[in-house]
Every structure is written in structure tokens, then in C-alpha cells.
A = this chain, B = another copy of it.
Amino acid sequence: MKMREEYTCPLELTHDMIKGKWKPVILWQLSKGPASLSALKKEIAGISQKMLLQHLNELQSCGVVEKKTFEGYPLKVEYFLTPRGHKIFGAVTIMQEVGIEIMREDKITK
């Protein structure tokens, strides 16, 4: 991922934050509230642990997601959206709405 200063336009910056196959779905899940790694893995059908972690790390490094680690056994970690994450989630919401509309339209067309 780029350093912040390298972005020439705002869209490029934000696009980086939601690019990747699973980022919108991860944000969607986290918008419901904090979640552990295993919970996310369960809720997001088809994602591999590697990709989940990789995307979570990217989301953290651009300030969209943070995590809280609880000491002890078994290990417990909670991922959650930052204020910035909630802002970007606004875009994801629209994506979801448009997607629903389109799927509905396509059903009617059939």
C-alpha cells in the first residue's frame, strides 16, 4: 500500500481502502459490531484465513480498522471499525443497496 503522501487524488486513496475481493464484506460485517477473527471467518463464506488476515492488516494500516487484544488463554482479539471506517462504510452501504436493486431488477427481467 502507498504512503499517504503519494496519493494524487482522494479517490485513489479511498479506492485503496476498499480494494481487494473481501474488503467490502469485511467492513459490512464489522459495521455490525466488533468481531473476532474466527467469528469473521465464520460469517464470511468462502474467505480463507490468510486473505482475511491480510485484508484486516491492510485495513488497519490505513486507519479503517483497529483491534484490541485481550491477554490470557485462549487468546482473544476484537476487530472493530474506527471513525474513519464508519465513514467509508457509508460507501459500502450504497454499494449494498445498489447491488440489491440490481439483483432484483435482473430477477424481474428473467
Quick one: given A15-B24, A94-B91, are A84 and B102 in contact (CB under 8 Å)? yes
Is A42 at the interface (CB under 8 A from chain B)?
Answer: no
**Majority secondary structure, A binding face:** helix
Is A106 at the interface (CB under 8 A from chain B)?
Answer: yes
Quick one: given A45-B8, A87-B101, are A14 and B96 in contact (CB under 8 Å)? yes
Chain A residues within 8 Å of chain B by Cβ, number: 35
The answer to whether B96 touches A94 (Cβ under 8 A) is no
- Residues of B close to A8: CB separation below 8 A: 45
The answer to whether B14 touches A99 (Cβ under 8 A) is yes
Residues 75-94 of A contacting B (Cβ, < 8 Å): 84, 87-88, 90-92, 94
